[in-house]
Every structure is written in C-alpha cells, then in structure tokens.
Structure 1
Amino acid sequence: MPSPLTYPGVYIEEVPSGVRSIAGVATSIAAFVGYTRQGIPDKAVHITSFADFERSHGGLDRESPVSYAVQQFFLNGGSEAYVVRVATGAAAAGWELQDDGPTSVLNIMAASPGSWGNQVKLTVERDPDKVRNPDSEFNLLVQQFSGQGSKERLVTQEIHRNLNLNSRSANYVVSVVNDASRLIRVERGAGLTFDQKGFAVGKEITFPLVVTDNIIAGTIDGNTPFRIELDTTPGNIDDLVDAINNKLGDAGLDTKLQATKSAADGSLGDSHLKLESQTVGETSSVTIAAGAFGGLARAIGLGLANGGREFTGDAQHHPAEITAQLPATKGADGSKGGSTELLGSEADKSGIYALRDVDLFNLLSIPETRDLPDSEADAVIAAAASLCEAERAFYLVDAPSG
C-alpha cells in the first residue's frame, strides 16, 4: 500500500512489477490481388488453406494467375492469406420469385458474381409434411451443381426452414437467409403492401364439447398476450362465439381480436371457430398457445398443436411453390481487368485498397502486373509499393524487363 505522506517534498516509491510479455506478431500473412473465377469483388477474404480458396474463389483457373500463386503459397507452407478478387464485366446470377398473384415478392442473387451461379437451383416448399405452418411459412432449398447433363452432380445444398415475409419476425426470410447462406442473397420486393388480417381457425366442431377447462390463450400480432376463460361450456357455435367476444370485451381486447364462425380456411361458413386480429399488415397474426391449460382450444382444434390453422398477414405475399428453378438472369465470370481494376479506389476501398480493411498482412503479391503494358505496370507497382510502406509489408514483384 502507498506510504503515508506527512511532509511536503518529493517521494520515491518502488512498486512491484509483473512480467509483461511482448506478444509476437505474425510475419507470414500474404495478400493476393487479382482475377478469380468467382468470389465477392473488391473484398479482402480471409483464407487459411487452398480448400478455403476453392470454396470462396473457385480454385485454379488458367485465366487466373493469382489462383496459382495462392496454391503455391499453401504448398510451400503458408498458413494464412487474404484474397481480393478484381474483375471486369462480372455479373451475378439472379431469380425473381412471385406469389400466387403473381406479384414479385423476392429478388434473389447469387452471393457473388460468376457463372457458377448459373448452376444454382431454388426450390420453394409449402408442403404440410415439410413446413411447420404451410399457411404462413415456407422452406427455401438452395442447391449448387456442377457439370452438365449426365455428368451433373450436387456440390452443396442449403435448406432454410419455416421462413416468412414478416420483417419483425425471427424467421424473416431476408435476415435468416442472408445471415446463414453461402450461396445466395435475398431482398424483399420493393413496394409490397400487406392489407390482410391474420387469424386462427379451428377444426370442425361437434357439440356437445368435452373439455378439461374453458380456456383459450395465445398472442395477438406477436406482442399482445391474451387468456380468456368462459364461465360455462357453450352448447352450440353461436353461443361459443358470443361467449368469447363477451370475454374479450370484458378484458378490453375487443378492438384487437374478434371471434366469428367460418369455414376451414377462414372464409364464410358456420362449422369452425375463427379468431381474427383486428389489425392489417405483415405483423397481423393470432397464435394459439399450447400447454397444460387450453382445454377449450384443444376441444375445438384451435391452434397448430391441436390441428388448427393459422394465417398471418404476411402470408398474402408468400412465394409460390417452385422446383429446382435455374436463374432467370445469368451470371458471368467477367475477365481480367487492367491497372484501373487492380488499383481500384482508395476512397471506395476497391482493388488493392480493399486491403485497408485488413488488420495485418506482411506480403503482397499481384501476379497480373507482369501481363500489363509497361506504363500500367509502373502505376500498379508504384501504388502497391506505397500501400506496403504504409502497412509495413513486403511487396513481391517481378523486376521490370530491361
């Protein structure tokens, strides 16, 4: 503890010092810039093996000198690298998914430009045997193939389950797919409007009801819980509807939820109970709780767990079913660019300046420099040397001829 200071003056106090190790810094992280068959343009992608490079950038390509440089780096003991893809004329494959309208509801692009996306197939499933709630959700199957005709083979596939178009839902298709997929990126169609109410509808009711309790519970619009308990068990559907609406009124929920008679799909009818949200929009929904209570809900088949159906407001624009659909817009690999593409823009962090987003690299290689006219090669060499000086890295470059 500090010594007590009793008089003015200068005091010297020795304090114990622990060992402060100096952390080592990696000295063999390479950076490669150049044309590759696939990959996200102008982005430094971290790899730790040539297998990573094959997955992210397509592997060896005779039009890609940098692909051979990466291969040799790992064959000779390299363990960590960054690759920046530069290309001109590259384009990503694309799909437009429509609802039953048909209205364009989802715009889907391959995760990176290149012809590889031309062999990606999409399937939308709304099969009750595969989807938790086929009235309000769908599955998206993404399959990448290689080869043609009898030589076609599946390379990889993804399945994204129980998706919807509700932007506030944990299963929102845009968020789920873009966070998880290595193959595609999704955007919701611009200008979509949702003007339907969500509802839950039970199975056909047979009276008299046999119940363990008179409780129905659930959630309205994803954020308003409700629980109603009838005083007695109604003897017909009209009394059931009236009793539920009376309880909703007593609870101050009649502006949020209403009970009516309906058919099995929620249309006009008189043999099923329908609980309908009183709001419209993509978040409109009625979800029936499953649990120890809710004997009345079980008796009338209300709720997914009891064999009922639930329709959400966003289901209005769910994509129609498709099977193994190839992209309507074809992708293109593009080709090697010149000094303009290699240099890119420091402001936009494109070309070699995509490496500005990398914490540390020690070696820089731009194999395509040797194929450029002298004036363009000189410009690339000068800019790359300046970048390496700023980043304290070595620049590997062939000596100019002559």
Structure 2
Amino acid sequence: MPATLTYPGVYIVELQNPMHNITGVATSITAFVGYTATGIDNRAQAIYSFSDFARLFGGLAIDSELSYAVLQFFLNGGTTGYVIRVPHHNATPASVEVTGASAIDLTFTALSSGVWANGQITIDIDYDGIDFSLPGVDPSTFNVTITNLSGNVVETFPQVSLNGTRQNYVANVINDFDTGSQLVKMSEAADPTNPLRKNTPEVSGVLGKRIQRNSGELLFFDKTKTTPQLIDKNYTLTLQVPKPKNSLPDIKDVNVLLKDAPIPVSSAAIASQVQSALANAVALNWNGATLRFIATKSNADDVLRAVASIPTLPDAQVVFSGTAAAPLGLDVTPTNVAHYALGTGNAIEGQKTSVAGTDPGNQLPFSADLVGDPASFKGIYALEKVDLFNLLVIPDATRALAGSPATPDPNVSGADVFPPAIAYCQQRRAFLLVDPPPDATTVTAALDWKTSMAITPPENGACFFPRLRLPDPVNNYQLRTFAPSGVVAGLFARIDGSRGVWKAPAGTEASLTGVQAFSYHNQLTDTENGVLNPIGVNCFRNFPLYGPVLWGSRTLAGADAEASQWKYVPVRRLALFLEESLYRGTKWAVFEPNDEPLWASLRLSIGSFMNGLFRKGAFQGQSPNAAYFVKCDNETTTQNDIDSGVVNVLVGFAPLIPAEFVVIQIQQMAGQVQT
C-alpha cells in the first residue's frame, strides 16, 4: 500500500516477486595440481585453452605429467580449468637485489621456484617521462619494467615510488595480487615509511649520458638556429660486450649519421636514426639481440638511452666507441649492467646480489608437496582461493619413474595423496578422478589395487583402468603412457555440455580423443571387464567402429557389495550439482523472517529450479510429482528451529539410473495356423 493516500482515485503499487531465480552452477570446471615447467608456485590460475596454459605455465614439458593432462583435457572437450603449480621438492626461487645510494635495497624474487628463472627474468629501472620539476612529483619516483625473456612477457609499472606513505609505493604496486607482477614479488630492506627518503635505485640499461648543451661541444641539433645545418662528416659507432666474457664479435664502424645529411632536429629523431642504423648490424652479429635508443627528458635535459637485450647474456654490458660517441653523449666506459637479472650470481655495479634459483636433486614434487598445507594455501589447498571447481585431477600422484612407465616413483603415492584430496573434495562438493598406479598393468593387479584402496568418502571419486597411451608431441609423437584423468576430465566436460551432468559419461559416445592404445596390452575381454566392474573400477575398452571408449560409470563406492545409493557417477555428480546450486541460489533467505512467507518463497524458488531440470530430463518420472519434491513448512521447521534461527528445506529427487545392463529377451513363437 502507498505510504499516504491523499486523493480519491486509483493507486498502482509494484509488489516484489516472491520467487528468486536459482541458476545451476557449472559442472566440469577442472582443477589440476602438479608440477609444471614454469608458473607461479601454489597459486590457482584459470585457463580456458591450452594456449593459456602455455602462456602461464610454459606449455608441455617432458617431466610434467600435469602439462599432458591439461592438453588431453582440452582435446577431449574440456573448456575451463584451474592449474596449481607445485614446484620441485625443496626448490628455491631466483632473486636479485638492486641497491642505490643511502642503503636503498630492493629485492625482486621470482614467484616461480627453480632454475628456469635464472637469467630469464630481468628488471629494468628508468626515469623516462618523469618530470621532477613539476609540482607534486615525488623525488623518489621511477619506472620498473619486468621481463621474462623465455616467455617474451613484459610487465611495466610506470611512476612507482619508494615512499611507503604514497599510494604508488613500489612494493604495493608490484605485489598486488590482481594487478601486480605475475613474475616477481618485491621486498625492501629500508624503512619505506620515511617521507624524507629521496634516493632512488640506479638506472639499468643506461650506457649513454645526457646530451649536454654546453658551449664548445659538438651538437647534432641546436634549437637556437632557425635553418637546418648539415653534418660535417660521417659518424660511426663500434659496439663491444667486454663483460661478462663471451664470444660475441665486435660490431665495428657502423655509420649512424652521414656527412651532409640534414641535422636531426630533436633527440627523438637522433634516437630513431641511430636505432635504425644499428638494428640490422646487431641482429646479424648477435643472435637474438636487440638494441633500443630512447629519447626523453630528465631534469630538463635531453636524455638518450641505449638499452641492449641479449637473451644469452642477460647481464651483458654494451660499450660504445667511435666518432659518434662524444657528439651523441654516449659514454665509452660502462656505468651499469644492461639489466638487473635474477639468478645470475653476479654482483655488478648497482646489482648488489643475484641469487640463483635451485632444484636440489631435480626431484619432482613429493606426496606431501602435492597435498600441501591448508594454513599456507599450498598444494590442493591453493583451491581455497577458487570460487568453484567440480573435478580434481592429480596426475603426479601416480607418477612413474622416468624411462620406466610401469615403475612407480617412490617419492609419491596415491595412498598418501588421494585420501586428503577426496576429503577436500567432499568439503567443496567436488569429484576426484583417481588414476591407477603405473604397475597396475594386469587385471589381477587392478583388482588388488581397488580392493586395497582406503579412500573415504568413496562416493566423491571414481577410478579408472588401465593407463592410456598417447602420442607425445615433445618426443616426435612416440607413444607414451599417461595417467587417464586428464582425458576423463575432458570427456566428462564434453558429455556434460551435450547431454547434461545426469548422463553417464560412458558408452559408445564416450570416445577418447588421441588415445592409441592401453597399458594393458591385451584387449580387455567381457569376462575381464566383468571382474573389475562389480568392484567399481571403470574400464577403458576398444570396440570396432567406436574405437577407444570409457566403458564404466561407477564411483569408488560402486562395488555391488556396498549397495551404496551413490553407486553411479551421474547420480552422485547430479546430487553435487543440486547441492552447490541450491547452496548458492538460496543465500538471499539468510536473515529473512523465518515464517510462512519465507517458506513459501523457498518452495516456489526451489520448485521452479527443480521443474526446469525435470523438463530437461534430469529425473525419473512422468510428472513433476513423481520426479521430485520440495518441502518447507512447519513440519520441517519446528518452533525450536525457529527459535534457533534455522529453516529446514527438504528436497528429494528421483535420479536417472544408467542402463548399465541391457537385457534383450527373445522368445520363439510357435507356428501360426493361418485362417
């Protein structure tokens, strides 16, 4: 009713719809936990294609089981995943400490542990585009550029400050979880909150001095003259790399400014002309190297900077000499390293220390590394930072020794990894895909493995046999044996998308893309399949016309002897889907008055959601009443519940049980007497 009725007539009042729409959650977001070549340690990062994985984690690596699982996931129909990189056992990250006047010590440490970052991540500091004469410009302002040479990734953080009282304090900017660096983190030894700190770190990449305008010094341009002047002779440059010791040849006598050519009218024009002249010479003589000349202003002076990038020598110094050195203001004596480089072990000029990252023993993650620690969000518990995932894949848990695909790696054990993993899946309403151990290469071994398995709660996972053989792109497409979980996760995603989570991800349409053979070299017979299926082992089969397929859809609780209500994968995953969807879709009810209007609204909202699924074929029954029910009233919620602030909703559904056994009865008809 309107607040005030003041005149005779008709009043229109809009009422709130008591029904709140509930949207079903995704069902096949897959989390991968294990070793990758590169990438941020123990941080879940979303990927939507294998290109994303290659960009963030380095792509396929021969010792990374996870990298192949991700590739197989996308090849078989997967669309969305998260990857948690677990580094080598006891690996440490590379770092570099940049120093300046008055104890300015900035330490940059790689977010990814291991030797891969040594010499591959560089830090550049400059003052390009910063006019300190302007009011309000902090005197400790500078620019930071962070480069991953191996991945060709460049991050820029312009105009950051050493003043810890400012919003653009360098550590806060670089360490920001969302918008900061994805390559390094930064720490500072000095007190960042001291507002009197004005000293800044030494500039990297600077081998040139300012273009001075002192009388008597030859200049290539003069703003006081109104008519263009001609250059009086050819000017050349010679480039050398004297430190560190290397085999790079000198680049001699490159013409950068020609006699009688027009005088460049700005420092930017000089930079462009010199860079163009040197580009070809550098590219031809120094493999993979680049050289940039940058013209800018600093403290009201024109500045010409030469920045060399030599991937094979990240801490190289480039020295200029020749007839153009003095007129261009290029110093013939190096004053700094070309880059501050992580992990080189060198302490040169402003680079105080550079500590190499390590991979002690080059050991892949142990069981404890994969499981991780919930307090520090490592291992599987890095998923605490992820809003939703549905499937969990840990191919390293059943890793084989390199070069021996049937020998388990003694440093990992599924018996140590899978129990905490499935317990975590139960907390997150997710489903664990359990790989067989490498030595389970026979039906008898698979039988022993399943019967000795102690993974609870078993309804939140499924296991598969045997391991799969696929071409290895890293090894000239030779067949290699892999854990099947990546393929299975992609298959689950494909069936979910085409048929729904209530359809068993098995059968003739559950084809396995890329699979060429199985680790069990004999073709599984119906009899052998009949030994493993009743104990809840889902088998891969190869049929004429259909090829390799997944021929089973039972959970770890799917043994006939257990008689579990969660015997089948689609029934359990449908229940998890309903639980997660209703959990998220009914949060609006929190703190609402706990009485019949709320109960009616809950019945209406949940009933509408369930009816939509019924119409899609998710439940048994010819009518909604036979397929599901929603009960929320004074029978489910007693006065004691109301007094305790509790509202109870009872939701029931009739699941679609997969037709695991199709029985065809044939009856012979007696001869018919024709009338």
TM class, shorter-chain normalised?
0.5 to 0.7
Worse overlay, 133-142 or 160-169: 133-142
Amino acid at match of 1:90: A
Matched residue of 2:413: which SS?
helix
Per-residue CA distance 1:94-130 (angstroms, 9 max, x = gap): 11111135x242111123223342212222224xx54
Q: CA deviation at 1:38?
A: 1.9
- Check conservation: 2:97, 2:107, Cα contact below 8 A: yes
Residue of structure 2 equivalent to 1:141? 145
Per-residue CA distance 1:29-49 (angstroms, 9 max, x = gap): 001111111223233222222
- Check conservation: 1:133, 1:162, Cα contact below 8 A: no
Matched, 1:41 2:41: yes
Residue of structure 2 equivalent to 1:132? 131
Match of 1:323 among 316, 335, 338: 338
Give me the whole-angstrom Cα distance separating, in 1, the residues matched to 2:175 and 2:412: 42
- 1:2-401 correspondence runs (5 A): 19-87=19-87, 88-101=89-102, 103-118=103-118, 119-126=120-127, 130-133=129-132, 136-146=140-150, 155-179=152-176, 180-190=180-190, 323-327=338-342, 328-332=354-358, 335-371=363-399, 372-373=409-410, 376-399=413-436, 401=440
Give me the whole-angstrom Cα distance separating, in 1, the residues matched to 2:82 and 2:193: 43
Amino acid at match of 1:365: V
Change (3 A) 1:60 1:190: same
Change (3 A) 1:57 1:157: same
Change (3 A) 1:191 1:357: closer
Matched residue of 1:390: which SS?
helix
Matched residue of 1:384: which SS?
helix
Change (3 A) 1:330 1:375: closer
Q: CA deviation at 1:305?
A: 12
Name the count of aligned residue pairs: 264
Change (3 A) 1:142 1:132: farther
Q: CA deviation at 1:395?
A: 1.3
Give me the whole-angstrom Cα distance separating, in 1, the residues matched to 2:38 and 2:398: 22
Q: CA deviation at 1:165?
A: 0.9
Change (3 A) 1:375 1:122: closer
Q: CA deviation at 1:20?
A: 3.6
Amino acid at match of 2:428: E
- Check conservation: 2:131, 2:298, Cα contact below 8 A: no
- Check conservation: 1:105, 1:192, Cα contact below 8 A: no
For structure 2, the residue ranges without an aligned partner over 5 or more in a row are 3-14, 134-138, 199-296, 302-334, 343-353, 400-408, 446-675
Give me the whole-angstrom Cα distance separating, in 2, the residues matched to 1:305 and 1:109: 29
Give me the whole-angstrom Cα distance separating, in 2, the residues matched to 1:385 and 1:79: 23
Change (3 A) 1:158 1:322: farther
Change (3 A) 1:59 1:381: same
Give me the whole-angstrom Cα distance separating, in 1, the residues matched to 2:72 and 2:83: 14
Q: Compute the RMSD of aligned alpha carbons.
A: 3.4
Residue of structure 1 equivalent to 2:462? none
- Check conservation: 1:349, 1:356, Cα contact below 8 A: yes
Give me the whole-angstrom Cα distance separating, in 1, the residues matched to 2:395 and 2:115: 23
Give me the whole-angstrom Cα distance separating, in 2, the residues matched to 1:383 and 1:157: 38
- Check conservation: 1:29, 1:80, Cα contact below 8 A: yes
Residue of structure 2 equivalent to 1:219? none
Change (3 A) 1:132 1:71: farther
Q: CA deviation at 1:194?
A: 5.5
Change (3 A) 1:305 1:37: closer
Matched residue of 2:377: which SS?
coil
Which structure has the greater CA radius of gyration?
Answer: 2
Amino acid at match of 1:349: F
Residue of structure 2 equivalent to 1:301? none
Give me the whole-angstrom Cα distance separating, in 2, the residues matched to 1:353 and 1:170: 32
- Check conservation: 2:140, 2:162, Cα contact below 8 A: no
Q: CA deviation at 1:343?
A: 1.8
Residue of structure 2 equivalent to 1:285? none
- Check conservation: 2:130, 2:142, Cα contact below 8 A: yes
Give me the whole-angstrom Cα distance separating, in 1, the residues matched to 2:411 and 2:93: 32
Change (3 A) 1:22 1:105: same
Give me the whole-angstrom Cα distance separating, in 2, the residues matched to 1:123 and 1:98: 13
Change (3 A) 1:321 1:165: farther
Matched residue of 2:173: which SS?
helix
Change (3 A) 1:348 1:124: closer
Tell which has more relative contact order, 1 or 2 (C-alpha 8 A, sep 6+): 1
For structure 1, the residue ranges without an aligned partner over 5 or more in a row are 3-14, 147-153, 199-303, 309-319
- Check conservation: 1:163, 1:171, Cα contact below 8 A: yes
Residue of structure 1 equivalent to 2:254? none
Normalised by the length of structure 2, the TM-score is 0.36
- Check conservation: 1:140, 1:159, Cα contact below 8 A: yes
- Check conservation: 1:33, 1:85, Cα contact below 8 A: yes
- Check conservation: 1:131, 1:161, Cα contact below 8 A: no
Per-residue CA distance 1:281-311 (angstroms, 9 max, x = gap): xxxxxxxxxxxxxxxxxxxxxxx99969xxx
Change (3 A) 1:100 1:63: same
Matched residue of 2:365: which SS?
coil
Give me the whole-angstrom Cα distance separating, in 2, the residues matched to 1:194 and 1:391: 45
Amino acid at match of 1:51: S
Per-residue CA distance 1:179-225 (angstroms, 9 max, x = gap): 33222221122457959588xxxxxxxxxxxxxxxxxxxxxxxxxxx
Amino acid at match of 2:101: D
Residue of structure 1 equivalent to 2:479? none
Q: CA deviation at 1:18?
A: 5.2
Matched residue of 2:82: which SS?
strand
Matched residue of 1:389: which SS?
helix
Give me the whole-angstrom Cα distance separating, in 2, the residues matched to 1:20 and 1:58: 44
Give me the whole-angstrom Cα distance separating, in 1, the residues matched to 2:298 and 2:71: 54
Amino acid at match of 2:130: V
Give me the whole-angstrom Cα distance separating, in 1, the residues matched to 2:78 and 2:371: 25
Q: CA deviation at 1:354?
A: 2.3
Change (3 A) 1:105 1:193: farther
Change (3 A) 1:77 1:329: same
Residue of structure 2 equivalent to 1:286? none
Amino acid at match of 1:159: T
